[in-house]
Structure 1
């Protein structure tokens, strides 16, 4: 049974459908057979990185230096298929490509791009993106991490929290205040096989969400880097926000993959489960639930596709990304919860995906901007008044 009642398939090009088929096959082969075990054990499969790299999914929206140079719509489609497997796997691709690699590609020097992007695109090197702090989540302008000049070097002190991949990263993109405003730095996490002095990344455990992913606390205690480690084109908060918008755009597509998978599981279950001598799918209340789920899903999918077309045309604005991220996360989490309820007691088992998706989406809904932050971005676009501090 299909969940594409609007025939959105007809709006995709042959090339876009080919990307979808290729990534869906990868997820079916590499993720679905293992994800329940990874989630239960709280394990991120590091060995998946080169597989995703070989498939051209790491930094796939970037061009040059080993990156695939795919369109925004193709990137979005890939994120939807990855998150249908699990939000943690899509998060890895987002942190690596939309955050760390984008920071280097957009704001780095040519030497930095040559040093890192080819290996990161291949999954041979891992990156992380250190912006959020323990006391400055939704307000990165309040960051206290500071970088001071010391001769030809910079010395970084501070802390970051909820930093994806940090404990396995080879390079950390660290954002810090300086006497001249916010700047970005590339901190190699080890040198000549030894940990970089003063840099510590500790996984945050235990977690109830995103268990097949890694999020860390970072401590920077007198970390010394040369001037060549500074991202020369990164000045002010606009630089990290440009990277965040790339990730948020991917989430607008990705979250819907989790929602779609939850709906597909519920639809299949309802067709097989018998209640009072007839299929659960034949009950009016069940059909009402399923109808509401598919209606919400396809509305959000249309929005994501519209945003993708605008991004490819160079027309997408930040508040539109906020609309997509907010709508998709709201939609996906409600579908996952409703699908879990339709499965009854069986829905709490890891044999079925909806409750895992619902738990993951609690994190997806929070990171890269909470509902409240995106609501205020939309409100500012409507009124012309920034109410963040009001």
Structure 2
């Protein structure tokens, strides 16, 4: 059983314990203990029923904590409720648990962080990187969120907006290649789209499908990162692209645009182009202008600068970097790319080296370092 197989079981195990009366915080802690035990035991003694094993082990971990912290009466009450070993129910509680974790008592940011940690299986470090904050800060945020709902229980589902953001970040983490969560995010977003008739839900599904269609072309031999401009477009999944574009067109026709629909529109223009040179860059810039208005995000402004560099030239793109926080992820990489295209090879090499230092994955770091070395060789 690999790490992905373990993560897939987390939502059902957590929700089973919550339905049996545990607080969410206690259930999450117990499941984490069971996962640690699974890593130790399963390689040499794999269970016939992995999910049932996790439920039983997590429950016993909870009982151990109860025995050390609470009275004999409470201990006996919990022991009487201990489930018998056996097959676990097959129902999929994942999407519902996402809504419960988006509890109205939590801020959207806290709800997203908690869900990614407890249900999505991301580490605190990965969530901190997605939020652009130190790992210690994110650990405190998740801890406070668990404490806040400890006494309330998961009694009310949260908003669709919060769940969409969770799924978006979950997909992005999988798409980065660090861990494989993209397919699970697509599956859950399909479920959501089948139940909720909202343009932004459809927009997010379209965005995921259009990006997922390029997955096979994004890495080369040995896990080498292949940028969009160098990808073999014959490897793109045309069926997913067609599905994504159809879903997007239906959503846009309702004239209730949101950020996921706009991002999907940009992805569709990339997917529709035979090559980087034949991409409709002016239209992509227009979509980025709209996305900047919707989000005010420096990350979006950074991506707009790249598109502007393609549409109007690299020096125009570089000028668009003015005013963007230099600490924004990929700022150095974008600056390097624009300097390289403008012929400023020394500046580009320095920026690629800085970008490699800031890289959050090994594949990205190697890719950027190779760019820097190549430019230094060309300059010499």
* Range class of TM-score, shorter chain: under 0.3
With structure 1 as the length reference, what TM-score do the two structures score?
0.22
TM-score (norm 2): 0.23
Relative contact order (alpha carbons < 8 A, sep ≥ 6): 1 or 2 greater? 1
Larger radius of gyration: 2
